[in-house]
Amino acid sequence: MAVVDTPEEAFGVLRPVCVQLTKTQTVENVEHLQTQLQAVSDSALQELQQYVLFPLRFTLKTPGPKRESLIQSVVECLTFVLSSTCVKEQELLQELFSELSACLYSPNSQKPAAVSEELKLAVIQGLSTLMHSAYGDIILTFYEPSILPRLGFAVSLLLGLAEQEKSKQIKIASLKCLQVLLLQCDCQDHPRSLDETEQQQLGDLFASFLPGISTALTRVITGDFKQGHSIVVSSLKIFYKTVGFVMADEQLRRISKIPAKPAVGHRVAELMVHREADWVKNTGDKLAILIKKITEYVSVHPHWKVRLELVELVEVLLLKCSQSLIESAGPLLKALVGLVNDESPEVQSKCSKVLKHFADQKVVVGNRALADILSESLHSLATSLPRLMNSQDDQGKFSTLSLFLGYLKLLGPKVNFVLNSVAHLQRLAKALIQVLELDVADIKIVEERRWNAEDLNVSPNASSVRLWNQVQRRYFRFFTDERVFLLLRQVCQLLGYYGNLYLLVDHFMELYHESVVYRKQAAMILNELVTGAAGLEVEDLHEKHTEMSPEELRGIVTSILEEYTSQENWYLVTCIETEEGEELIKQPGLQAITSNVHTHQVLSSPAFSKPGPTICSLNSNIWQICIQLEGIGQFAYALGKDFRLLLMSALYPVLEKAGDQTLLISQVATSTMVDICHACGYDSLQHLINQNSDYLVNGISLNLRHLALHPHTPKVLEVMLRNSDASLLPLVADVVQDVLATLDQFYDKRAASFVSVLHALLAALAQWFPDTGDMGQLQEQSLEAEGSHSCQTAAPLEYSTTAEDIEQFVLNYLKEKDVAEGNVSAFDNEEEELSDPPKMDENDTLPDVEPPLPVHIQIARDVMERCIHLLSDKSLKIRLKVLDVLNLCVVVLQSQKNQLLPLAHRAWPSLVHRLTNDGPLAVLRAFKTLKKV
As a whole number of angstroms, the distance between CA 311 and CA 355 comes to 10
Q: Residue 438 pairs with which residues in a beta bridge? A: 476
Residues 240-259, mean pLDDT to the nearest whole number: 88
Task: Give 368's contacts (C-beta < 8 A, 6+ positions apart).
Answer: none
As a whole number of angstroms, the distance between CA 385 and CA 284 comes to 29
pLDDT of residue 1: 52
Task: Give 796's contacts (C-beta < 8 A, 6+ positions apart).
Answer: none
As a whole number of angstroms, the distance between CA 395 and CA 113 comes to 43
Distance of CA 538 to the CA centre of its chain: 14
Residues 110-138, mean pLDDT to the nearest whole number: 85
Q: Which of 389-403, 480-494, 875-889 has the highest mean pLDDT?
A: 480-494
As a whole number of angstroms, the distance between CA 296 and CA 678 comes to 44
pLDDT of residue 918: 75
As a whole number of angstroms, the distance between CA 764 and CA 781 comes to 15
pLDDT of residue 357: 78
pLDDT of residue 558: 96
Residue 639's pLDDT band, with cuts at 50, 70 and 90, is very high
Does pLDDT of 930 surpass 90? no
Residues 839-866, mean pLDDT to the nearest whole number: 68
Does pLDDT of 611 surpass 90? no
As a whole number of angstroms, the distance between CA 400 and CA 409 comes to 14
Q: What are phi and psi of 532, to 5 degrees?
A: -65, -40
pLDDT in tens, 4-52: 888 899 999 999 999 999 999 999 999 999 999 998 999 999 999 999 9
**Is residue 888 within 8 Å of 766, Cβ to Cβ?**
yes
Task: Give 868's contacts (C-beta < 8 A, 6+ positions apart).
Answer: 903, 906, 907, 910
The residue with greater pLDDT, 230 or 713, is: 230
**Is residue 864 within 8 Å of 889, Cβ to Cβ?**
yes
**Is residue 214 within 8 Å of 290, Cβ to Cβ?**
yes
Does pLDDT of 462 surpass 60? no
Query: Cβ of 624: how many Cβ atoms within 10 Å?
Result: 22
Q: What are phi and psi of 478, to 5 degrees?
A: -110, 5
Average pLDDT, the chain: 81
As a whole number of angstroms, the distance between CA 754 and CA 751 comes to 5
As a whole number of angstroms, the distance between CA 694 and CA 648 comes to 11
Which amino acid is it at 449?
Answer: R
- Which DSSP state fits 629? H
3-state helix, strand, coil in the chain (%, to 5): 70, 0, 30
Please provide the DSSP assignment of 320-364 as one string.
H-TTTTGGGHHHHHHHHHHTTT-SSHHHHHHHHHHHHHHHHHT-E
Cis amide bond preceding 606, omega within 30: yes
- The region of weakest confidence among 57-71, 72-86, 501-515, 827-841 is 827-841
The residue among 615, 624, 522, 611 whose CA lies nearest residue 568 is: 624
Residues 536-550, mean pLDDT to the nearest whole number: 73
Task: Give 710's contacts (C-beta < 8 A, 6+ positions apart).
Answer: 703, 704
Please provide the DSSP assignment of 518-565 as one string.
HHHHHHHHHHHHHHHHTTSS---S-TTPPPPPHHHHHHHHHHHHHHHT
**Is residue 192 within 8 Å of 169, Cβ to Cβ?**
no
Vertex 427: Cα angle to 423 and 430 (nearest 5): 140
- Which DSSP state fits 369? E
pLDDT of residue 453: 42
Give pTM, 2 decimals.
0.72
Helix or strand or coil: residue 5?
A: coil
Does pLDDT of 504 surpass 90? yes
Residue 743's pLDDT band, with cuts at 50, 70 and 90, is confident
Residues 588-604, mean pLDDT to the nearest whole number: 37
First to last CA, the chain: 106
pLDDT of residue 887: 83
Q: Residue 368 pairs with which residues in a beta bridge? A: 365
**Is residue 634 within 8 Å of 557, Cβ to Cβ?**
no
**Is residue 86 within 8 Å of 133, Cβ to Cβ?**
yes
Calculate the alpha carbon distances from 448 to 311, 341, 410, 585, 715 in Å: 50, 38, 45, 22, 18
- Stated as kind and residue range, the H or E segment containing 365 is strand 364-365
Does pLDDT of 788 surpass 70? no
The residue among 572, 439, 592, 436 whose CA lies nearest residue 511 is: 436
